[in-house]
Amino acid sequence: MLKIAEKPTDGKVELTLDEIAREGARRMLVEALEAEVTAYLEQHRDARDANDHALVVRNGRARRRGGSAGQ
């Protein structure tokens, strides 16, 4: 596989094209899902229950799954 090399101040980092593509795809999915959530929240922002509480809210974000904490 072709390697892409970066030279940060702390040493050399090598990434394969597959790793770069995988990270790009992951970022695109995150952005697409965020846009979908934002649109859904906006569409339902006026939905209220009998006590005037919002029926659709964002409750935060879950912890990342799997992998190491540095990802």
**Per-residue three-class SS string for 31-71:** HHHHHHHHHHHHHCCCCECCCCCECCCCCCCCCCCCCCCCC
Sign of the alpha-carbon torsion through 18, 19, 22, 24:
negative
**Per-residue pLDDT tens digits for 36-69:** 999 999 999 999 999 999 999 988 777 777 755 5
Residue 36 belongs to a domain: yes
pTM: 0.60
pLDDT of 13: 73
Residue 42 belongs to a domain: yes
Residue 66 belongs to a domain: no
Full residue range of the structural domain in which residue 39 is found: 24-60
In the chain, the percentage of residues whose pLDDT exceeds 90 is 56
Q: How far apart are CA 56 and CA 46, in angstroms?
A: 9
Residue 46 belongs to a domain: yes
Q: What is the tally of structural domains in the chain?
A: 1
Residue 19 belongs to a domain: no
Residue 31 belongs to a domain: yes
